[in-house]
Amino acid sequence: MKRKQGVERALITGGAGFIGSHLAERLLEDGYEVTIIDDLSTGSMQNIEHLRVHHRFSFAIETILNLTVMDRLISECDIVFHFAAAVGVRLIVENPVGTIETNVLGTEIVLKIANRYRKKVILPSTSEIYGKGNSIPFSEESDRVLGSMTKSRWSYSSSKAVDEFLTLAYHSMYKLPVVIIRLFNTIGPRQTGSYGMVVPRFIKQALRGEPITVYADGKQSRCFADVKDVVDAIVKLANCPEANGQIFNVGKDEEITIENLARKIKHKIESSSEICYISYEKAYVLGFEDMRRRVPDLTKIRKFIDYKPQISLDQSLMDIIKDMRKNMANGRDKK
């Protein structure tokens, strides 16, 4: 995308993470100055080391809860892409306090400072917002259906809902320019399986010849979008004035069951791994709840930016397999 007059300056919180690092790469290609802030709690220097030589790139190892640092960084940018968040089912189950504090307090800080300096905020949210709802496909106006408060599984959905409400409140009360993006399953190189992401976990297991562990009966389905298509949508929405104050689903609407995903990965790698089925209780905690289907309604985003994902699931998987093989060969697959 061609830049307008001058060079726009973007701040990406959590920019050393999976999607944030790909976004940084894209924005640099588009001519932005890019600053990343990340405390590396879930992000990795490995994700951005190829960017650090770029003259329009800078990086701060710091928490977004540091008000002094955040005030300076936001005052110096034109737009904030707020990707810093606790993500991943395993991390959410194991650290619900950190999930809530990072997501809610961090977003409050970003919005308050962005409003002080009148900077646009792009807030990535999540398909977890829809909870256990069964009104498939989920539209941005779909009702939310969650489980009991005693299930930590739903703390992430609830924390991101607070983020969305707060973001929309800043837009309503103060006319702060904001866009909320509900991300469905996003995959690509640099994603780690350490926090519950299924594709990198399956691929690593298959490459190592370990059992590919499918949870429950494997009949639950998901839709997987390539990170390059997702980042393209994020950039286009950020540059779409009509998108201000709006919520958008971003992802793909082509479903695959998790057991068929495991079979596909096993076949592509020509792996000797067995596909094993284990209970959610064994994988996570007693009483863990999941949703059977998660499919986005993409009508709205197609209307605003003519959204058309270009990369097939097969191509995404091959790109991830190639990247993971390289990392394993170099001893860089610790996560």
**Residue (of 288, 201, 302) closest to 248 by Cα position:** 302
The residue assigned the tokens 């006319």 is 175
Q: Please name the amino acid found at residue 142.
A: S
Query: Helices 18-29 and 227-238, interaxial angle, to 10°?
Result: 60
Q: Residue 209: which region, alpha, beta or left (left: phi > 0; alpha: psi -120 to 50)?
A: left
**Residue (of 159, 63, 156, 168) closest to 111 by Cα position:** 168
Instruction: Yes or no: say if 230 and 19 are a contact pair by the CB < 8 Å rule.
Output: yes
* 156 catalytic residue (yes or no): yes
Active-site annotation holder among 32, 117, 130, 156: 156
The residue assigned the tokens 């504090």 is 101
β-pairing verdict for 186-187 and 225-226: parallel
* Cα-Cα end-to-end distance for the chain: 33
Distance, CA of 265 to CA of 144 (rounded, Å): 32
Query: Looking at the annotation, which residues are catalytic?
Result: 156
